[in-house]
Amino acid sequence: MAHAWLPGARRIRARTDGGPLGGGVPRAVWLTLDSVPGGVSVQSAAERLIIADRPCHLIWDPVTGDVAQLISVLRAGRALVASDRLGWVPNRVRSWPESVNKQGRICVQIGVLSTAAKPFTSGPLLGVEAIMSWLDVWGVARRWPCGQPGGPRACPPSRAGLPGRRALWARGGHFGASQVPGSEHAGPGSIDIDRLTGPRGRQVHARELPASLAATALPIPA
């Protein structure tokens, strides 16, 4: 069964979210929260993101395996196209494309307690199997259209290459926050994507949810 809330995760409900999702190919976005594991708790990180009004769906400490969920997977997050810093608050006067948060029938934002300078995949990844299995059920394909974040990749690195980046983004699958069109994120850095989704070349195709399953999932409160 597809659960709107990750089974076993702590629930720290955000006051607001990014609103209804716009539809399209499912995707997951990995971002870092500019905090080394153990430097701040999942609870504290969640509270800071909620105060800043930019919650992601999951906050994960890969060293302890502690994970919290702030928003239902059936609603959009608000963490993309922002800074990596936990205390960062957007300039309300400046227009920044929040709509990217809503793109996809599922767009799961995973905030990792780590920094872009020290890729979190170089250490233990406690709890990653549960997160990946949950994303599999929601149809997020185990592919990285832009390749490895923070390293040689297919995604155009500059704003001049936004059309190409948007084309890859439209394929769905897994992305680093730095690969999101219009993003100001530096993270998650040069992570080892094989440790998250399996060896390169392995394709796990997105699975469509049966109508009966979608019907049972939708009534779950956001």
Domain layout of the chain by residue ranges: 10-198
Q: Does the pLDDT of residue 46 top 70, yes or no? A: yes
78, 83, 41: which is closest to 60 by C-alpha? 41
CATH class of 10-198: alpha beta
Which is more confidently placed, 5 or 2? 5
Could you tell me if 150 and 116 are in contact, meaning their C-beta atoms sit under 8 angstroms apart? yes
Which of residues 169 and 208 earns the better pLDDT score?
169
Cα of first residue to Cα of last residue in the chain, in angstroms, is 17
Neighbouring residues of 57: CB distance < 8 A, sequence distance ≥ 6: 69, 70, 71, 73, 77, 108, 109, 110
DSSP state of 160: G
Q: How confident is the model at residue 86 (pLDDT cuts 50, 70, 90)?
A: low
DSSP 166: H
Local structure of 103: helix, strand or coil: coil
From residue 174, alpha-carbon distances to 112, 149, 159 in Å are: 14, 10, 20
The number of C-alpha atoms within 13 Å of 1 and in the hemisphere containing its C-beta is 11
What residue has token string 């948060």?
101
Averaged pLDDT score across all residues of the chain: 82
Tell me: pLDDT of 93 over 70.
Answer: no
How far apart (Å, rounded) are the C-alpha atoms in residues 137 and 118?
A: 30
CA distances in angstroms from 216 to 19, 76, 107, listed in the order given: 20, 19, 19
Q: What is the pLDDT of residues 98-153, one digit of tens each?
A: 688 999 999 999 999 999 999 999 999 999 999 999 999 999 999 999 999 986 55
Task: Tell me the per-residue pLDDT of 26-40, one tens digit each, with 9 for 90 and over.
Answer: 999 999 998 877 789
Residues forming beta bridges with residue 28, ordered by sequence position: 108, 174
Nearest to 122 by CA among 9, 37, 199, 3: 37
